[in-house]
Amino acid sequence: MAEEKEAQTAIPWHSLAPDNVLSRLDVGEKGLDENEAAMRLERYGRNSLTPQKKRGPLLRLLQQFHNVLIYVLLITGVVTAALGHWIDSSVILLVVVINALIGFMQEGKAEKAMEAIGGMLAVKAAVRRNGQMQTVIAEELVPGDIVMLQSGDRVPADLRLFHTRELRIDEALLTGESVPAEKSTATVDEHAGVGDRKGMAHSGTFVTYGQGSGVIVATGDSTEIGRISGLLSGIETLTTPLLRQMTAFGHVLSLVIVLIAAATFAFGVLVQDYSATDMFLAAVGLAVAAIPEGLPAIMTITLAIGVQRMARRNVIIRRLPVVETLGSVSVICSDKTGTLTRNEMTVQSVVVGSGCYEVSGVGYDPHGELRNNDHTVTIDEDPLLHELARAGMLCNDSNLREKDSQWALHGDPTEGALMVLGMKMGMNPEHEQESLPRSDVIPFESEHRFMATLHHDHSGHAFIYVKGAPERVLEMCHQQRERGEDVPLDRRYWETLIEQMAQRGQRLLAIASRPVDASMNCLSFSEVEDGLSLIGIVGIIDPPREEAIRAVEDCRSAGIRVKMITGDHAVTAAAIARAMGIGDGENIKAITGNELEDMQDAELDKTLEHAAVFARTSPEHKLRLVKALQAKGKVVAMTGDGVNDAPALKRADVGIAMGQKGTEVSKEAAEMVLTDDNFVSIAHAVEEGRTVYDNLKKAIIFILPTNGGEALTILAAIALGRMMPITAVQILWVNMITAVTLALALAFEPPEENIMRRQPRAPDEPLLSRFLVWRIVFVSLILVSGTFGIFIWLRENGASIELARTAAVNTLVMFEIFYLFNSRFINESVLSRKGLFGNHYALIAIGVLLIMQIGFTYLPPLQLLFHTTPLDAVTWGVIMAIASSVLFLVELEKWLVRLFRNRTLQV
């Protein structure tokens, strides 16, 4: 069966004539008989996608624990349980379970994507078997089946068309084109892309207009959508920079803790003559002190808060760590249709014999005006505009409806644009149709490339209106309308305008008319082949979103390059790129998919340095471009809304799907979804991602000095042969309460002012730079000096071990409260109203922590649990004086660093 499927895929059916295809598939126009269909079903398999192997729920859940930070937490939980501190042990294990459940729920992205693709196969299809029409379940279709298509049908398999009548198919999910593709029976080049295969209808696409018949040439995995499914299942989902950094950090930290604990044990036993039991407990205390057990929980919570912030800005995050990845995005590869553009065709320019006009307004909202040289023009001022708008409305099968202040189109997007044009000029479609009712029509077909309608008014007059491809309509015209009369056609004038408008990426329609005898009731081709008068030409385009243009500029300011990767035509893509400011200047050239296929990897690598627009791309092209950018060290975000985008969405560091117009496949393959389909939301998401990363760094440089101070305090005590100033249980208390209060407050820090004027951080940038390591060491030394210092001072003045330890713990906690303010800004001073009071969550956290410390110090049950004792006012005064020193020392360090950097820049 595998060989049969490969054979289906290998044949370029679109390049073979229909008769040849029918012959190769051994089928006539009567279709297959039931016996042959059953044999082929056994031979080729069912018309469904092969389900991917899935991991069982238990294995998926267990794999969530396969992380070095989770191991660190588990070890910490075991240690705390061994110390008899069951409450802290339960809290730690609860953090582990929460982390695992979050990962478990976010897993299975590829499986869901495959299910979504599988659901796109049609349920039933109209098939000719035994010479009769039958309705057959789509899964039972086989190569050789003759399928009938009509408006509203979903194509059930890949078909080679052998009969079409005005057939148009929406292939946006495969090609990204905003306009339904016109289908014919014509053959095309063997290497033609999906969007250029006029004689093919592909599985999962929708028939928007007309009728057609075709023979099935591929089913299931062998279809175009099945091929994309295979790409999707074979793509490895990349881990995020943060997870890579945290994994490396966890490995290093674990190794360092084990080595220091072992060295401390050996030093205490061999040098200081401590007993092995005492030193084992000291080593355990050192390990507990050094492990930042609150860090994974804070990391998860900080990311979750980022998710909530993004949800308020129309961004839904499907995979938690990707929040941070957004902060390092350096390239955004964007689809065009519906992402950068509105996916609503709009007339932007009108040319008649009396002049050229620009049309304002976008989409199907009929509000706008015509302007000529910045002068607003009405149809009363130029009767030709009235005639053109009327012709566009009458030679038209679409209609517009308003519901809840939103305009919706029913019909072809290009015809809808003409209807909107007339309404912008103040014309009423119903009134025009009543004034000049239609008598007959020659529907649009790709073979003749025009549509013609016959109309009679109520005064005994008749008119023919024609619209179509400009080069075809010009052949049918010998005259042009000008100042209310017909004059000889100036063909060179129109051809020059056509070329200029086409270079702007506009799709062109020419509109012509001809008065005929009122007795005519039937249209024939001979009546429209010549003798027409050209009224004018309209330029139609799917316009860029205004807010997306601003978002592209915001991305440029943030050091992020935007590249357009679309299935649309090269000229259209380049025009939209110029309008949006994508690329460098006016001389933008779109690289086509065929050109990409001819490029070697080295040439593509060089091309990516300057090329910003890629057109007529297939799913493989998009995937190759994403991989090539990643190979250059870029962190890539990819936007898309179709099935053709899904492989690249999954491969990208950040896959971004459209929530409104995107397919379920694209949403399942992506890490984030834009609920408003607005490119500007990506800029917001990048800002939030950078803020999250900043806040994670702030949390880390806040938490680690606490662990460093605790560990150094124990090391200092062992080195000096003194008793432990803080017990392991007291260390756990400090670590847990400060993590869930003070460190958590840093997750709510607002973005810093210059956050979107920075360059993206390098993906290989270490989580802790040399400067941050210095800050951690510097603060750790301040903490150990004050904490160990007050312990020694009290002991030498006759205080009990309980009192000295209570004072040491409270000094450490007060150090952290003051240091929290320092941590709000990594480089800037906090000695201002904004720095001290700009985060009300920090003030609330300080209040909660003070209450907890009062309980720790004065409540009898906690005194019994932690071996604490009350402190008097004098001791509290000493504690506050010592602890506040960290605020001023760190601010002094910041000032010196800023001074040094400014002088370096001046030099």
Looking up tokens 């004059």 gives: 487
Q: Identify whether the C-beta of residue 665 lies closer than 8 Å to the C-beta of residue 643.
A: yes
Cα gap 718→853, rounded to integer Å: 27
CA 377, 378, 383, 386 dihedral sign is positive
CA 58, 60, 66, 72 dihedral sign is negative
Reference 567, options 529, 614, 607; nearest CA is 614
Q: Identify whether the C-beta of residue 748 lies closer than 8 Å to the C-beta of residue 820.
A: no
Give the pairing type, strands 636-640 and 331-334. parallel
| Paired strand residues for 541 | 346
Residue 611 per-residue DSSP state: -
Q: Check 88, 158, 335, 645 and give the catalytic one.
A: 335
Element (H, E) at 624: helix 619-631
Q: Identify whether the C-beta of residue 421 lies closer than 8 Å to the C-beta of residue 351.
A: no
How far, CA to CA in Å, does 46 sit from each of 41, 43, 218, 234, 887? 6, 9, 11, 22, 71
Axis crossing angle, helix 276-290 with helix 241-270, rounded to the nearest 10: 160
Longest Cα separation, the chain: 122
Reduced to 3 states, what is the DSSP secondary structure of residue 72?
helix
Cα gap 495→502, rounded to integer Å: 10
DSSP assignments along 16-35, one per residue: S-HHHHHHHTT--TT-B-HH
273 an active-site residue?
no
Strands (DSSP E) contained in 426-497 are 438-442, 450-456, 462-468, 477-482, 485-488
Give the pairing type, strands 124-129 and 132-137. antiparallel
Element (H, E) at 349: strand 346-352
Q: Identify whether the C-beta of residue 566 lies closer than 8 Å to the C-beta of residue 335.
A: yes
Residues 6+ apart with CB under 8 A from 771: 897
How far, CA to CA in Å, does 569 sit from each of 9, 340, 417, 659, 699? 25, 15, 19, 25, 49
Cα torsion through 714, 720, 721, 723, rounded to 10:
-40
Cα gap 31→127, rounded to integer Å: 8
CA 298, 304, 309, 310 dihedral sign is positive
Cα gap 40→51, rounded to integer Å: 21
Q: Both tokens of residue 307?
A: 């998710």
| Paired strand residues for 407 | 402
Q: Both tokens of residue 693?
A: 């990363």
428 C-beta neighbours (distance < 10 Å), count: 12
Cα gap 514→312, rounded to integer Å: 56
Cα torsion through 355, 360, 362, 363, rounded to 10:
-60
Residues 6+ apart with CB under 8 A from 532: 464, 466, 473, 476, 477, 478, 479, 512, 513, 514
What count of Cα atoms within 13 Å lies in the side-chain half-sphere of residue 394? 31
Point out the residues that are catalytic: 335
